[in-house]
Structure 1
């Protein structure tokens, strides 16, 4: 059930698009799947998935970022979503997240999508840093984030799960360069 979309960002295997109001059925295949949503506060009802989709669309309108839908360039199927949302706006730090459909787990898609988001955040948007957290039971994310260069900083309470999640930061290497006098 794939179809071609317009992509604003691509990798070797993935195309990043934007959510729109017509994407509820697509969003259901991602956030409506309890295997995807169980570690981010789900499972979600169809109404909750619709609310999440609306929040992503509003995020794009307000901040020019969202957890963008990501598609296979080969099959045009939805792989998942990956993107940004404001975290500490005053410090130009955004939260990065990746949610994949189970058919795409353990194939390197999360790393490929995350690296594209990191490059986009630092090189195109010029953000100062990125924040990411994960459910304490999500061991794979605990290994994944450090491989991307994120460093553990603290435990942060995440209201949707009611738990403290391991939390990480990755600073923009360009932001860390001090001009020489």
Structure 2
């Protein structure tokens, strides 16, 4: 049983570690997830391990990561949701969910918990977010959470200009 440092009504937030390769593969090995986060649309096994290592490193260096999130009732992996540092008091929020959890309110619920964590625990001044322009679900989530569109920014991993948002 995993330990959770943060919980909502349906979601438990844990921390990625080196034993999570199979969970990482379950999430980032699904082209329905990765089609929105990389130009090829597919993560190789090496890409999956690299992504997991980035998350572990971010936790060690900055005390934040895109934390793995689990359904409390089943202890099943939903995806990940968390933060990346932009500056000393600004973060980027993001989420990747397994397809079976799309359109059920999990992204909104998880992101809302991370927003509260960022502003109340980390004392963030601003949060930023972006999404693949083809990912209308993420656009709706960010708008529902109160993020304001600021501009399109080039995102090298996809080779596309992504809408960028800010929440203060």
Identify the TM-score tier after normalising by the shorter chain: over 0.9
* Cα distance in 1 between the residues matched to 2:160 and 2:121: 33
| Alignment match, 2:90 | 93
| Alignment match, 2:62 | 63
Shift of 1:144: 1.6
Shift of 1:20: 0.4
* Cα distance in 2 between the residues matched to 1:165 and 1:139: 12
Which has the greater radius of gyration?
1
Runs of 4+ in structure 1 off by over 2 angstroms are none
SS of corresponding position for 2:103:
coil
* Cα distance in 1 between the residues matched to 2:161 and 2:46: 26
* Cα distance in 2 between the residues matched to 1:30 and 1:130: 24
Shift of 1:103: 0.9
| Alignment match, 1:164 | 161
| Alignment match, 1:37 | 34
SS of corresponding position for 1:44:
coil
Once the two structures are superposed, the pairs formed by residues 100-115 of structure 1 within 5 Å of their partners are 100-115=97-112
Once the two structures are superposed, the pairs formed by residues 99-178 of structure 1 within 5 Å of their partners are 99-171=96-168
Q: What TM-score, normalized to structure 2?
A: 0.97
Within the candidate set 3, 8, 22, 1:6 is matched to: 3
Q: Give unpaired runs (5+ residues) of structure 2.
A: none
Q: What TM-score, normalized to structure 1?
A: 0.90
* Cα distance in 2 between the residues matched to 1:20 and 1:142: 29
Cα RMSD between the aligned structures?
Answer: 0.7
Shift of 1:93: 1.2
Shift of 1:142: 1.6
1:20 aligns with 2:17: yes
SS of corresponding position for 1:18:
coil
1:81 aligns with 2:80: yes
Shift of 1:60: 0.1
* Cα distance in 1 between the residues matched to 2:116 and 2:83: 12
